[in-house]
Amino acid sequence: MTSPNDSNKDIGNDDSEMSKSAPEKQNSLLAGIIERASKSGIGRKKLNPSAVESSVAKNMAEIHSRPTKLRLAFLGGGSFGTAMANLAARNGCDTTLWVRNKRTVKAMIKTQTNKKYLPSYKLDDRLKYSHDLAATVKDKDIVFIAVPGLAFRETLKNIAPFISGQSIVSLTKGMEKDTFALMSDIIKDELPEVNFGVMSGPNLAIEIMKNMPSATVIASESEPLRHAVQAALHSAFFRVFASDDVKGVELGGALKNIYAIAMGMASAYDVGENTKAMILTRALAEMSRFGVEAGANPLTFLGLSGVGDLYATCSSELSRNYRIGTMLGRGMSIDAAVKKLGQTAEGVNTIQQVHEKATKEGIYMPITHALYAVIYEDKAALGVALHLMEAGFRSDVEFVMAHDHSNAALTAHMKTSNNSPDDKKDDADHK
């Protein structure tokens, strides 16, 4: 099994990428796509490589010959803010990336790289950098925010004096500490007049920097804002889909971090594919159950921001949440794991928020509660996992067949005759 450190080596040492110019990188990537596309036709209808090539090339040429005139600010110089700002600049938008550290800004201007978070990737020449928050935000069409959830409210308060008609789009996949507020809630609190949206999907920043085809979702009640975000970021390598279910899209991005930690932990125990599939699918059940209680549409969880992002983060060591889980599974404490990671892992706070909220409101979230017990109550992981497996009979997809209470009664009956008082208590907690 690869260790978190091994994966960091992969991430940081892609020197061949650095030495290539942007057109060279695009050409070699295109060649790779064309080669894979033509191979995929073997044994069936053969694809004509030149047709694929000309259609992709036409798409790229169109994008670059029609640069949108959108003026964009991206706040947050971590991996995701940088990756998204780079996409927008490459699409021809007038784009400024705000970074809080003055020295980092100087270094970025000089090297056109983000040495701390994306060290191997040359950023687009047209991307501008600034340490001046007011100047970055003023006179922009859209302000994208990609700071950690714990810094989101403070960032909004700081930009509030300079907001006069700009739209705000949150790229953050977290929750506020202790308030259970999502980023859209914080925007409504701090800037009640503003037009806003949230963007979320399976978007591992490094893969985006490598131009690996990816997709995301912009959710907003405002159709013009949805279209503007699509125009700003859409390219041959990055598709932007639209939704009007803000809550559902945002919760998909925030909740999946919990299960990425669980899956990282499971991987440290070398579990099989059946087990991973069970965790992933029951995680999706928990996410949609929780989402519905919060007013989201359960079908949203079947989209890119739900199952899409859940899959990406639960299966990749590029996910920081997954790496936290792996470290926990190997016996490290949560504090030590967070320190070693040195980057944002929103799931660490989200587990606590969701555990508390679900307990208070009686929402059935067994995986979240189990993970909380292991991380914060020092319960043995294997014992907790066994206990989870012994939980009562339930229906598979609750929106197809509602949970059957006669099964719950049967389970309770079996437990009373077989199990210990502790099990009884836990079972009752879960109803």
Ligand X SMILES: NC(=O)C1=CN([C@@H]2O[C@H](COP(=O)(O)OP(=O)(O)OC[C@H]3O[C@@H](n4cnc5c(N)ncnc54)[C@H](OP(=O)(O)O)[C@@H]3O)[C@@H](O)[C@H]2O)C=CC1
Reported as type and span, the H/E element at residue 217 is strand 214-220
Given the residues 188, 256, 340, 379, select the one marked as catalytic: 256
**Contact letters for ligand X, residues 163-192 (x by CB under 6 A):** --------xxxx------------------
19 is in an annotated binding site: no
- Beta strand pairing call for 214-220 and 196-200: antiparallel
Distance CA 424, CA 16 (A): 58
Give min distance, CB of 323 to ligand 13P, in A. 8
Q: Which of 26, 68, 95, 203 is the binder for ligand X (CB under 6 A)?
A: 203
CB of 309 to ligand 13P, least distance (A): 5
Q: Is 256 annotated as a binding residue?
A: yes
Q: Which residues pair with 75 in a beta bridge?
A: 98, 145
Q: Is 427 annotated as a binding residue?
A: no
Nearest to 254 by CA among 290, 214, 208: 290
Which residues, including other chains, have CB under 8 Å from residue 139's CB and lie 6 or more apart? 71
101 binds ligand X (CB under 6 A): yes
Per-residue contact track with ligand X, 330 to 369, x per CB under 6 A?
-------------xx-x-----------------------
User: Cα–Cα distance between 63 and 83 in angstroms, integer?
Assistant: 18
Length of the chain: 431
Q: Is 67 in the site for ligand X (CB under 6 A)?
A: no
If contact means CB under 5 to 8 A according to the sort of partner, which of ligand X, ligand 13P, none does residue 313 touch?
ligand 13P
In angstroms, rounded to a whole number, what is the distance separating the alpha carbons of residues 310 and 321?
Answer: 11
Q: How far apart are CA 251 and CA 368, in angstroms?
A: 14
Active-site annotation holds for 256:
yes
- Smallest gap from residue 148 Cβ to ligand X (A): 5
Question: Between 94 and 250, whose beta carbon lies closer to ligand X?
Answer: 250
DSSP 138-205: TT-SEEEE-S-GGGHHHHHHHHGGG-SS-EEEE------TTT---HHHHHHHH-TT--EEEEESS--H
Binding residues for sn-glycerol 3-phosphate: 173, 201, 256, 309, 319-321
Catalytic residues: 256
Binding residues for NADPH: 79-80, 100, 117, 173, 205, 320, 346
Binding residues: 79-80, 100, 117, 173, 201, 205, 256, 309, 319-321, 346
* Interaction site with ligand X (CB under 6 A): 76-81, 100-101, 116-117, 146-149, 151, 154-155, 171-174, 203-205, 343-344, 346
